[in-house]
Structure 1
Amino acid sequence: MQELSLQDRIDRLEAIEEIKQIKARYCRFVDTKDWVGFAGLFTEDLVIDFGESTSSPRSRDEFVAAAARHFEKNLSIHQVHLGEVEIIDNTHARAVWPMYDLVEKTSDDSEYVSHTGWGHYTEEYRKENGHWRCSRTQLTRLKRVVLGD
């Protein structure tokens, strides 16, 4: 196995930091309802695997629209914790993010169920036009607790 040059190591660290920023923005954009910013975090060919999803989005635009429908009229708190980011090559990476979320129904006309939960996001990233974007996201729950409304 060939040892990486100093520049290669610096490039990997920069990639890891950019990917960490993407996931931090994911949480902030959902919770502040910045759907334009949220959409910009993903590749156009995003693959979504959220088994608990009732809308089963199949594209980036469907995913963003579903998030907006679910969270627009509700209070949400999303947190991710120290992620494991692996740089595969200059344009591909993957990561696992421990997560916590809380969603509280704040509107009588919302059909969303209040809940809190813990689990992991398992994601893939691709560098396009000089920027990293999430190209695949999967949510696996370890525990989900439905809250009384």
Structure 2
Amino acid sequence: MADRIDKLLERYFTGGLDLEIKMREHELRQNNSKKDENIGGGRAQNKYSNAFENTLVRIEQDEKLNALQEQRAKIKACVDKFDREHKEVFNQRYRNRMGWEMIAQLHYVDERTPRRWRDALKVKCQQVDL
């Protein structure tokens, strides 16, 4: 379970989760309707095209997009419970992929301290059912 949460946190801090959300929105915004091949044929006179509204509904009701956005919100809520130094350690570990020894030296703490901070973040993430 800890490995799954580590991967989620890495996706969040590196921006991979935001990228997935943007890509999914882009996919949903693409017009998937087929071109009209009725060359020279008649068209309905009273046909109302509401493509914009249909796109908005498609985006709002997409389960995958909603799950990704909910996941991002939960992780953000967990991270926001910590102070600036803890967030800096999380960024260094997950975004910059620094080792624990280097992080400990940069913050003038024992090597075990940033690991405890990471463990506290994981516990908070588990509490919100990530």
Q: TM-score range, shorter-chain basis? A: under 0.3
More strand by share: 1
Q: Which has the larger radius of gyration?
A: 2
Greater RCO structure (CA 8 Å; 6+ sep):
2
So what's the TM-score if we normalise by structure 1?
0.23
Tell me which protein shows more helix as a share of its residues: 2
State TM-score, norm by structure 2.
0.26
